[in-house]
Amino acid sequence: MARVTTTSPQGPAGSAFVRACRGLDVPHTPVWFMRQAGRSLPEYRKIREGVGMLESCRRPELVTEITLQPVRRHGVDAAILFSDIVVPLAAAGIELDIVAGTGPVIADPIRSRADVDRLRPITVADVDFVDEAVRLLVTELGATPLIGFAGAPFTLASYLVEGGPSRTYTRTKAMMYGAPQLWHDLCARLAEITLAFLRVQIGAGVSAVQLFDSWAGALSEADYRRYVLPHSAAVLGGLAGSGVPRIHFGVGTTLLLGAMGEAGADVVGVDWRTPLDRAAATVGGRAVQGNLDPATLFAPWPVVEEQARRVLAQGRAAPGHVFNLGHGVLPDTDPDVLTRLVDLVHTASAR
Ligand code: CP3
């Protein structure tokens, strides 16, 4: 197992990852993977045996161990807190579960004014387990940065309104177009919860945050700007003075990248559909993160290597590049390929 020890005199703030987020010079392109902690790792499957997903997110020692697993195994340049985007919604009073193979399922979906009123603000006491897990992790990780995260208002609203995952977002869009005031009130509440949740993580010591608007690509740019951007901007803008870089990510967002940057991101996450040099031109002046197609990891190694080198070359067009996949690690991925990819990124990008 390859290990890369990140040494940095200034701790995580001086790490290659944080420096790349800020567009500063780096010794090598930093790399981490969305969903790096999860089912691709046998040690994850073992430790999760008999423990539900939500329950595992609420046990700080377990969260710490699961978060550290991919750092130990792959030598990635950053850890990402093991949690889920629906954790703050459960803390805000929404009855839900995370069903294996499906995703979040909401007991009573949000469709009316009375439903929106069920969402209450959260305080640190509602997510004290996250506060504790981050503090434990920051101590364990030393100079390796920890990324905190939350779901963005649109992606959270899509689960709450649909009641679970969706392909068409029919009910979500029906509310957006048919009851715009209710929609905006729902998203404003979600922005408040999300901001509070990220502030807890920053207060406990994370070195960066990522706002996941995974399903924003379902919207046109005009609708994104009108119905979504103001709420994501309330979250990202609310963290402007926090001192940590803000990453903003979604899937299928080729035409939204400019707007997602304008919402207040320091780094724009890019899926595999948009070459990073094109993305860099669109988000002007911001760093980019991405964007190897996660399915590439099932191809023979020479293909993985060629594609990873292409991503590195295209990433040089931006002031900063954080290497990642274009979306999360697929559960059947061979973890040895991930380890080899980390080594390749470090070697091929060494300055
Ligand atoms: O390593 C990491 O990236 C950190 C962990 C993480 C999880 N969820 C753990 C998880 C992160 C960052 C998330 C965020 C999340 N959750 C998103 C945004 C990221 C993305 O993928 O776009 C979304 C849309 C969700 C909602 C969600 N939760 C889905 C779609 C699923 C998968 C359902 C399935 O089983 O296929 C979950 C469950 C979930 N979240 C798992 C993990 C490791 C799998 C559950 C398990 O291991 O039993």
According to DSSP, the β-strands at 96-99 and 103-106 are antiparallel
**CA of 194 relative to ligand 1 center, distance in Å:** 17
C-alpha to C-alpha distances, 94 to 97, 100, 160, 163, 181, nearest whole angstrom: 10, 19, 9, 11, 21
Taking residue 164's Cβ as centre, other Cβ atoms within 10 Å add up to: 16
pLDDT band (50, 70, 90) for residue 9 = low
Instruction: Note the helical H segments in 268-332.
Output: 276-282, 301-315
272 lines ligand 1 (CB under 6 A): no
> Could you report the per-residue pLDDT of 141-200, keeping only the tens digit for each?
999 999 999 999 999 999 999 999 999 999 999 999 999 999 999 999 999 999 999 999
| Ligand 1 atom nearest to 210, measured from its CA | 12
Q: What was the pLDDT predicted at 7?
A: 57
Nearest CA to ligand 1 atom 37: 103
> Distance, CA 256 to ligand 1 centroid (Å)?
23
Answer yes or no: are the C-beta atoms of 140 and 68 closer than 8 Å: yes
Are 30 and 290 in contact by the 8 Å Cβ rule? The answer is: no
The answer to whether the CB of 37 is under 6 A from ligand 1 is: yes
Q: What is the pTM of this model?
A: 0.96
Q: What's the 84 CA to ligand 1 centre distance in angstroms? A: 6
| DSSP alpha helix (H) spans, the chain | 16-21, 42-48, 53-57, 60-74, 87-91, 113-116, 128-141, 153-162, 170-178, 180-204, 221-223, 229-238, 257-262, 276-282, 301-315, 335-349
Helix, strand or coil, per DSSP, at residue 227: helix
